[in-house]
Amino acid sequence: MRIVHWLNALAVVIMVTSGWRVYNAAPFFDFTFPNGATLGGWLGGALQWHFAGMWLLLVNGLLYLGLNLTTGRLWRKFFPVGPRGVARDLAAALRGKLSHADPRHYNQVQRLAYLFVIADITVLVLSGLVLWKSVQFDTLRTLLGGYEFARRIHFFAMALLVAFVAVHLVMVALVPRSLIAMIRGK
């Protein structure tokens, strides 16, 4: 699963940074992303990077879900999760009292966060399909409120994913042995 994790990380970096360049071509807010933080150099180049990242994310994501579903890992790692457990573990984390004795065991907040990421990436894929092939996915476009609303859904889902990555990196910095485990497997 380590290689899948790192391929997902690469795909997300490609998708986000090229997506920022695509956004810059037709921004709907009063800001654009700094060109130095974007990938692709121009709209056409950014779209090529975005499509390359899309295929990496799709194939790797399907592999991740397939492996997790067929081995039962999805249920073992991410369930059960419930409001009481999330509240308990969140309170412990905020007090600095959350145990990290076994980094292979996810607490309730981690479980919820990882399930959220799976749902968020699903929203990104669906809204991305509308942006990519709006005519072919007209029913999906309608369900998402039209092309322009799908752009906003895509943008906010991306922002939530970037926020998750930021928190994820902070947590890795606070518990550095989790990074070692993701590199060495121990």
pLDDT band at 159; cut points 50, 70, 90: very high
- Stated as kind and residue range, the H or E segment containing 39 is none
In the block, which residue shows the tokens 């990421």? 117
What is the extent of the structural domain holding 175? 80-186
Q: Find the DSSP H helices in the chain.
A: 2-25, 43-71, 73-78, 83-94, 108-132, 138-143, 147-174, 177-184
What is the pLDDT averaged over residues 6-33?
97
pLDDT band at 181; cut points 50, 70, 90: confident
- pTM here? 0.90
**Residue pLDDT, tens place only, 134-156:** 999 999 999 999 999 999 999 99
Give yes or no for residue 171 having a pLDDT over 90: no
Structural domains counted in the chain: 2
Residues 2 and 54 in one domain: yes
**Residue pLDDT, tens place only, 40-73:** 999 999 999 999 999 999 999 999 999 999 999 9
Residues 184 and 92 in one domain: yes
Residues 5 and 86 in one domain: no
Which of residues 27, 52, 71 is at a domain's end? 71
**Residue pLDDT, tens place only, 115-136:** 999 999 999 999 999 999 999 9
Residues 120 and 46 in one domain: no
